[in-house]
Amino acid sequence: MSVTSGPVEIVLVYQSLLGIYGDQGNAVVLRQRLRWRGIDAVVTRVEPGDAVPATGSVYLLGGGEDAAQVSAVRYLTEDGGLFRAMDAGAVLFAVCAGYQITGRTFTVGDHDEVIAGLGLLDVETRRGPVRAVGEILSHWTRPDGSESLVTGFENHGGYTYLGASATPLGHVEIGLGNNGDGTEGAVQGHVVGTYPHGPVLARNPELADYVLELALGRSLEPLPNAEIDRLRTERLDWVRRLPPRAAATCA
């Protein structure tokens, strides 16, 4: 979606359902990185019962529990606004539970009931043998071929498996990622799914700019920031010094 006039609209979806891990911070990061570049941006918050606008450039889904996932899928399907926005070229950035419901199916409850997802990503999620809890570090190959490290905190019991139409966002150095196969997240067109919290876009400004570039349909000039670079270096060094068990998965 190429924005030519008016502010860039960032739509934060259903924080009462999918907002328990601070992922709403991703909206603040995107808005601020646009404003630093002189691009006007607004954050629109929608809750169940509100109409989801089809006018947004970026839509954000965050983390939540099983019942919240099921409710979010039902409300979004009945509303239809997100689907209309995606048809118009908007970007969807989905984290953890939001990532899972963006796929074709996911499971919930003690009996692993299979629930139809939004069908925007060719992925399926099933309960895994151990819960992934801890720092995660993955290697993301950017569209220009260069590599960037993505850091965050994963906390999920679902294991996500990619179909042929989706490609991994990154490859894991530390942590579990999608299902222990060495991959993390998924990208398909203008849909980006990932597991890390943090919020992940605060920890990874290059990933934030990638989301914005998808939405704007053009490259953005870099935003050098020595303090952010220093904090990232410290965090990456710290993660790599963690004992393997603390840095990867635990039950």
Task: Judge whether 197 counts as a catalytic residue.
Answer: yes
Per annotation, catalytic residue among 139, 171, 190, 197: 197
- b/e for 153-179, b at 16 or more Cβ within 10 A? bbbbbbbbbbeeebebbbbbbbbbbbb
Is there a contact between 135 and 150 (Cβ–Cβ < 8 Å)? Answer: no
Which DSSP symbol is given to 102? H
- Extended beta strands in the chain, E state: 8-13, 41-46, 58-61, 91-95, 105-108, 113-116, 123-141, 147-162, 170-174, 183-184, 186-188, 191-194
Per annotation, catalytic residue among 96, 139, 171, 250: 96
Task: Judge whether 250 counts as a catalytic residue.
Answer: no
d(CA 145, CA 157): 32
d(CA 164, CA 55): 30
Amino acid symbol at 134 = G
Is there a contact between 87 and 53 (Cβ–Cβ < 8 Å)? Answer: no
Q: Which residues are catalytic?
A: 96, 197
